[in-house]
Amino acid sequence: MARIVVAPVGEIPAGGRKLVEAEGKRIVVFNLGGEFYALSDRCPHQGGSLCAGLVSGHVESREPGVYHYARRGEMIRCPWHYWEFDIRTGKSWFDPKRVQVRQFPAQVTTGAALVEGPYVAETFPVKVEDDYVVVDA
């Protein structure tokens, strides 16, 4: 699996999303209050773009006439047929054991860690002798 640098953290605001393409896969990255989650952009039903879908919460009802709106901004709804998926897990709301969107690991990494690489600078030994700096070249 390839490592893809998506964007600086500040470029995807809380509640926002960003679509990226990597190795022929379209992946949508969501920012849920500073935590990042990545899902396939393809709804498993008929392939609708989840990036184009509505982000919402979940309505629960323990009895008729009593509703509770929870998990604001944690559900993505496919724009074609309104199938809903949990952004944190990729699981569908209606059949979480059998229907889900592929998840990809997403994390925040410091820029310094990303640029570490096979770059090697030429170095020379340095000695301090009394008040002089001497470089052996």
Cα separation values, 97 from 68, 93, 117, Å: 24, 10, 41
- Say whether pLDDT at 75 is over 80: yes
- Say whether pLDDT at 55 is over 90: yes
8 A C-beta contact, residue 72 and residue 59: no
Helices (H) and strands (E) in the chain, counts: 1, 9
What are the tens digits of pLDDT across the range 39-52? 999 999 999 999 99
CA-wise closest residue to 58 among 31, 27, 96, 26: 96
Coil, helix or strand at residue 126: strand
Residue 135 — pLDDT band, cuts 50, 70, 90?
A: very low
DSSP secondary structure, 101-116, as one string: PPEE------HHHHH-
The pLDDT of residue 131 is 44
What are the tens digits of pLDDT across the range 96-129? 899 999 999 988 887 766 666 666 677 788 766 6
Residue labelled with tokens 């849920």? 32
